[in-house]
Every structure is written in structure tokens, then in C-alpha cells.
């Protein structure tokens, strides 16, 4: 008896469907092309429904943002009135602590344990040794200062990712389309990310090409998906602040200029025991393409 192999919805397939939707292909065209390439009708329709669902979530998030007007100068949660419980896209998030200069806010319960686990499992098969931007060329390079493994999701890649991005957009009052795709990092014992700034140094020749895709980074949100037993804090050496990695929590910080005077130097301290997983969302001043 021949066994029918299940056909998984792969990242490549999701990207292909997204590109077809971008160029205006109809649902019927997409399903027919998939069937012609050997996908079963059920999988083709399921993958398309998933892609349309993600798009609807992101479109609703951007429509909600349009109602509150254009993005302000910097991403910022609405806590100026003393609120420490925020409802973002229907999900309740708690403010654990905040600092004014540099602007740092720690959130609890940004993601549920199930959401953290699902993101880890989606990312796991796609991990590779982390790269950083080569300042001279704007390309990527493996860097000894970053001993984690990582991968990038594209924006709205799955309905879960679209929901998380809509929640982040609502929490930080910054449109989804001004964010890079989520990056997931895994740190094993001994792995670390030495202190650095997340903005692109305008003086470096390699920054020109990255700045063309949405301008400067203006804020970072590091979400803890899995906490190590010891080590792995996110550290801010300029202000002697260590943020403990707690599953579902996140640290947000913003920087109004690409300069060390923002005191946003930060790093991932070495993991001593267990594994640390994070998802990082970088926010740009303009639409990220
Ligand atoms: O994993 C961290 O704690 C960390 C520290 C510094 C992540 C990043 N930077 C980053 O993703 O930029
Ligand atoms: Zn960083």
C-alpha cells in the first residue's frame, strides 16, 4: 500500500503565496498553480486561508493605528497617565518597571506560555549561526561577539506572528509596517551577545543600503520566549541595569538618534545554565520594505 506523505506548509510556500498576493494574483490562480505543482487541493486551500488570515490581522492593526493618527516621534507605550495595565489588540500586558533616560520599559505577560512555545518550535528548524551587519559593506557576517543562533520570520508570516505583531504595534503605538520581521535567537550555555547599539552608524559605508529599507532603527523590543536557569540577562552597561529573562516578558528601549549619548548600549549576558530564547522586534522610523 502506498503511504500518502503529509505536505507541510513550509516557509518557502508561505513566502511564495505572499508574493503572489502582492502581485495581485487571485485566490483561484494561486490554488490552481499550487495544484499544478503537486500540492493537494486541501493543503493548497489551507495554506492560502492561513496567508489571507495573517493579512487580515495586519490590515486591521494598521487601520486601528490610522485612527489614532500618524505615528509620533518615537514608539512609546501609553503609560504617561500612570497606567500599568495595558490592553493591546485585546491582550492584557503589565508594566513591570520603566526608566526615563534611557527610555526602557519592561513588560510582563506580553506573550502567553503557549505563544512562546509555538514561536520557538516554528523557529527551531530554521536556526543558523547568528550574523550581524558588516559595517563596511552592509552585508551580513558571522561575528564572534554574537555566539547565539538565529533566524528571521517575515512580517505576518503566519497568523500567530501576525497577531503578535499587531499586539506589539498597539502596545508601542507604532504601525506594523514600520517594524522589521521578528528575529528569533537561541543562546546555549556560554553563548552571549556582547554590548552593542542597535541603530546603524550613519558614518559606516555599509549603513547606506540598510537605511534605504525604512530609515533608522528607533526602538527595540526583546521578548523572552524561554528563560535559562542562570545568566542571560539583557544588560545596559551605561546605566548598570540588568533585565532578567522571564518567559513571556519583554524589554523595550528607544533611541531618538543614532548616537551613544542615548545610553542604549546593551548586550545579552552569557547564559550559565539552560537555554535562552528571545524574539527581537526592531522598529524603524519609516515603512520597512
Ligand atoms: O538577547 C538579548 O538579551 C539581546 C541583547 C542585546 C538581544 C539583542 N541585543 C538584540 O536582539 O538586539
Ligand atoms: Zn541588540
Pocket of ligand 1 (CB under 6 A): 185, 193, 198, 220, 222, 234, 266-268, 278, 280
Q: What is the pLDDT of residue 99?
A: 98
Q: What is the pLDDT of residue 11?
A: 80
Longest dimension (CA), the chain: 69
pLDDT in tens, 118-164: 999 999 999 998 876 666 666 666 666 788 999 999 999 999 999 99
Collapsing DSSP states into helix, strand and coil, what is residue 102?
coil
Q: Rounded CA gap, 210 and 198, in Å?
A: 12
pLDDT at 169 over 90: yes
- Counting other chains too, the contacts that 75-82 makes at CB distance below 8 Å and 24 or more residues apart are 75/172, 75/173, 75/174, 75/218, 75/219, 75/252, 75/254, 75/283, 76/103, 76/172, 76/173, 76/254, 77/105, 77/107, 77/171, 77/172, 77/173, 77/252, 78/173, 79/105
Q: Which pLDDT score, from 0 to 100, does residue 276 have?
A: 98
**Sign of the torsion formed by the C-alpha atoms of 271, 277, 283 and 287:** positive
Look up the pTM and report it. 0.88
pLDDT tens, residue by residue, 173-188: 999 999 999 999 999 9
Mean pLDDT of 101-128: 98
Pick from 157, 175, 158: nearest CA to 166: 175
Contact by Cβ (8 Å): 246, 108:
yes
List of residues 6+ apart from 114 with CB closer than 8 A:
none
Decide if 248 contacts 109 (C-beta within 8 A): yes
Q: Residue 171 above 90 pLDDT? A: yes
Pull the grid cell for residue 101: 533616560
Q: Whose CA is nearest to atom 9 of ligand 1?
A: 267
Residue from 104, 131, 181, 193 to probe ligand 1 pocket by mutation (most atoms less than 8 Å from CB): 193
Dist CA 74 CA 270 (whole Å): 30
Q: 3-state class of 66 per DSSP?
A: helix
**46 CA to centre of ligand 2 in angstroms:** 36
**Quick one: pLDDT at residue 57?**
77
Summarised one tens digit per residue, pLDDT across range 230-272 is 999 999 999 999 999 999 999 999 999 999 999 999 999 999 9
Strands (E), the chain: 85-88, 91-99, 103-108, 128-129, 131-133, 140-142, 149-152, 183-187, 193-196, 217-226, 230-231, 234-236, 241-243, 250-254, 266-268, 271-273, 276-284
* 23 pLDDT higher than 80: no
pLDDT confidence band for 6 (50 / 70 / 90): low
Going by CA atoms, what residue is nearest to atom 4 of ligand 1?
A: 268
Cβ partners under 8 Å of residue 129, min gap 6: 142, 149
- Counting DSSP H helices and E strands in the chain, the numbers are 6, 17
Domain ranges of the chain: 11-66, 74-284
- Domain 74-284 sits in CATH at 2.60.120.620
Closest-lying ligand to the alpha carbon of 278? 1
Report CA(201)–ligand 1 centroid distance (Å).
Answer: 17
What ligand is nearest to the CA atom of residue 249?
Answer: 1
pLDDT tier at 67, thresholds 50, 70, 90: very low
pLDDT computed for residue 24 by the predictor: 76
Amino acid at each position: 500500500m502506498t503511504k500518502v506523505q503529509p505536505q507541510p506548509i513550509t516557509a518557502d510556500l508561505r513566502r511564495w503565496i505572499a508574493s503572489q498576493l502582492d502581485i495581485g494574483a487571485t485566490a483561484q490562480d494561486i490554488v490552481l498553480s499550487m495544484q499544478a505543482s503537486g500540492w493537494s487541493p486541501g493543503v493548497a486551500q489551507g495554506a492560502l486561508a492561513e496567508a489571507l488570515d495573517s493579512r487580515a490581522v495586519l490590515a486591521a492593526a494598521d487601520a486601528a493605528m490610522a485612527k489614532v493618527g500618524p505615528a509620533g516621534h518615537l514608539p512609546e507605550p501609553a503609560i504617561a497617565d500612570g497606567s500599568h495595565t495595558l490592553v493591546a489588540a485585546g491582550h492584557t500586558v503589565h508594566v513591570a518597571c520603566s526608566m526615563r533616560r534611557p527610555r526602557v520599559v519592561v513588560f510582563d505577560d506580553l506573550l502567553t506560555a503557549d505563544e512562546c512555545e509555538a514561536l520557538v518550535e516554528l523557529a527551531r528548524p530554521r536556526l543558523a549561526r547568528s550574523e550581524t551587519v558588516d559595517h563596511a559593506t552592509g552585508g551580513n557576517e558571522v561575528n564572534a561577539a554574537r555566539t547565539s543562533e538565529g533566524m528571521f520570520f517575515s512580517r505576518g508570516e503566519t497568523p500567530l506572528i501576525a497577531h503578535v505583531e499587531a499586539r506589539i504595534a498597539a502596545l508601542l503605538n507604532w504601525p506594523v509596517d514600520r517594524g522589521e520581521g521578528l528575529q528569533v535567537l537561541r543562546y546555549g550555555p556560554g553563548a552571549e551577545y556582547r554590548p552593542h547599539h542597535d541603530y546603524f552608524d550613519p558614518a559606516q559605508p555599509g549603513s547606506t543600503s540598510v537605511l534605504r529599507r525604512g530609515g533608522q532603527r528607533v526602538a527595540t523590543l526583546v521578548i523572552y520566549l524561554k528563560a535559562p536557569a542562570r545568566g542571560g540577562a539583557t544588560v545596559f552597561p551605561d546605566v548598570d541595569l540588568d533585565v532578567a529573562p522571564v518567559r513571556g516578558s519583554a524589554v523595550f528601549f528607544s533611541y531618538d538618534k543614532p548616537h551613544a549619548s542615548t545610553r542604549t548600549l546593551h548586550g545579552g549576558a552569557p547564559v550559565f545554565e539552560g537555554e535562552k530564547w528571545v524574539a527581537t522586534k526592531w522598529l524603524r522610523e519609516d515603512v520597512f520594505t
